[in-house]
Amino acid sequence: MLKRVLIANRGEIAMRIIRAARQLGIETVLVYSRADSDTKPVRFATKAICVGSAAASGSYLNQESIIQTALSMGCDAIHPGYGFLSENVEFAEKCISHGIRFIGPTPEVIRQMGDKQSARMLMRTSGVPTVPGSDGIVADAAEARNLAEQVGYPVLLKATAGGGGRGMRIARDGSEIGSAFSVAAAEASAAFGDGRLYLEKLIRDPRHIEVQILGDLNGNIIHLGERDCSLQRRNQKMIEESPAYCLDEETRQRIREAALKAAKAVNYSSAGTVEFVLGEDGFYFIEMNTRIQVEHPVTEMVTGVDLVREQLMIAGGDPLSVRQEDVKLSGAAIECRINAEDISRNFAPSPGTITKLHFPCGTGIRVESALVSGSTVSPWYDSMIAKVIVQAANRQESIRKMKTALDETIIGGVPTNIDFLKAVMDDSEYKDGKVDTGYISRMLEASPGLREGVPCKQSHS
């Protein structure tokens, strides 16, 4: 068992790791930036050490400072959370070379899955369905045009090192290939230092389905059901659910089996997620996230499995505490991400000081946040204030419970997206499960009042 873990992250995920570690009797060392000195993780970690400036490059991305802190504090392992260094191969290798356990899969797996095209090809050879497209890197716009004519428009040009929707452009016909290729390549190069692209057929009106996986160091790998993460804006998730409401039982079993096949192909260990797009003609692998996900609480709510606790135990050499046959999903869970953003300014991030803060509570309601009244939502990081998660006997009851929980959430001092989230909970198409990755864009187009922060209770159909 681990004795002391350094947390190389911030916000609610840092608080989440602290809580799981304390329940296991593990001490925590938190590294933080000067901008985060007033947050809850700094108060609740066993030891908190400021490692640099507000800019992530001087603190949360400062690999040498983080590793030297871990060494000086006698830490057994480093938990990277998500974002920042969580999928950084170089950092994982440095941890291991210094005798520190990296809480996540091996560097080889991170490297293999971090290159989206290589991951895609491995999945194809492993029998996991992949989106029709190129067999490798697309050299230039001319090659992209030839491939697009073979697989059929529209197509998606994607950065092989991509993530978060960056380095990704759609071409609806041959006239758009040239500009889509050049823009995607330039964006990928700027964001990831790697401008290489591959091409996929664009699945129209897809749903985004992801399967939670867990693996230990003894080769045991299980899934914990799937999540529907289709409600996105600019490729960023806003609302997630488990289980996926849209799946018939045959498809549900097939997609879970495909996720297990993907995880076993790389001998996965720790917590991870296999992501798929679901279209009219089936589902296809798109990527594997080699870390804990923001939306992991909905899986925890329906399975009763503490994923962060499992990560810590796996890193300490323990086997999985649950077998596949023990995994049972109970009811339905929904997560809403509450962000400090101004809907009337196209959801622009709106940092500031929180003057009032009250979160809901009650049976089947959970809130993840690192802020308290008087805390500052910093302009240096993402604008998420909290995650509100609910669980009930079925999806419709969960929707009603979420609406009540959002009604009880009070945040003063900064504009938030709460009214927008409540409008979604009231929308008839959402209630009927008629959503895909374009749902939010269509809702905003059909309900102009939402852009001004005015809740709208009518369907956008």
137 strand-pairing partners: none
Q: Which residues pair with 283 in a beta bridge?
A: 278
pLDDT the model gives residue 444: 87
Q: Is the pLDDT of residue 457 over 80?
A: no
Indicate if the pLDDT at residue 453 is higher than 60. no
**Which residues touch 285 (CB under 8 Å, ≥6 apart)?**
120, 123, 128, 129, 130, 131, 258, 262, 274, 275, 276
Residue 97: pLDDT above 90? Answer: yes
Sole residue written with tokens 């933080």: 32
Q: How far apart are the first and last CA of the chain?
A: 54
Mean pLDDT, all residues of the chain: 94
Identity of residue 161:
A
With 0.85 as the threshold, say if the pTM is over it. Answer: yes
pLDDT digits (tens, 9 = 90+) for 350-399: 999 999 999 999 999 999 999 989 999 999 999 999 999 999 999 999 99
pLDDT above 50: residue 343: yes
- With cut-offs at 50, 70 and 90, classify the pLDDT of residue 1: confident
pLDDT at residue number 461: 35
Structure tokens at 73: 């504090």
- With 70 as the cut, is the pLDDT of residue 198 above it? yes
The whole-number average pLDDT for the span 265-280 is: 96
Nearest-angstrom CA–CA distance, 398 and 392: 5
pLDDT at 172 over 50: yes
- For residue 452, what pLDDT is reported? 63
Q: Are strands 348-349 and 282-289 parallel, antiparallel or unpaired?
A: unpaired
Helix or strand holding residue 398 (H, E): helix 395-407
Nearest to 315 by CA among 26, 24, 102, 18: 102
Average pLDDT, stretch 144-156?
A: 96
Q: Please, which pLDDT band fits residue 322 given cuts at 50, 70 and 90?
A: very high
Contact 375, 365 (CB under 8 A): no
Boundaries of every domain in the chain: 4-103, 132-201, 207-451
Task: Please provide the size of the chain in residues.
Answer: 461
Mean pLDDT of 160-168: 81
Selected from 1.20.1260.10, 3.30.470.20, 3.40.50.1110, 2.60.40.420, the CATH number assigned to the domain covering 207-451 reads: 3.30.470.20
CB 266 within 8 Å of CB 112: yes
pLDDT of 367 reads: 98
Rounded mean pLDDT of 407-416?
97
Task: Tell me how far apart the alpha carbons of residues 447 and 213 are, in angstroms, rounded to a whole number.
Answer: 38
**DSSP code of residue 456:** -
Q: How confident is the model at residue 277 (pLDDT cuts 50, 70, 90)?
A: very high
Examine the pLDDT at 459 and tell me if it is beyond 70.
no
pLDDT of residue 455: 46
Does residue 17 register a pLDDT over 50? yes
| Position 454 pLDDT exceeds 60 | no
CATH topology for the 132-201 domain: Dna Ligase; domain 1 (3.30.1490)
Catalytic positions, written as ranges? 291
- What the block records as the tokens of 189 is 């190069």
Are 338 and 411 within 8 A, CB to CB? yes
Q: Report the pLDDT value the prediction gives residue 458, as an integer from 0 to 100.
A: 36
**CA atoms of 277 and 261, how far apart (whole Å):** 17
**And the tokens for 186?**
């330039």
Q: Just give the CATH number of 4-103.
A: 3.40.50.20
Average pLDDT over residues 408-414: 97
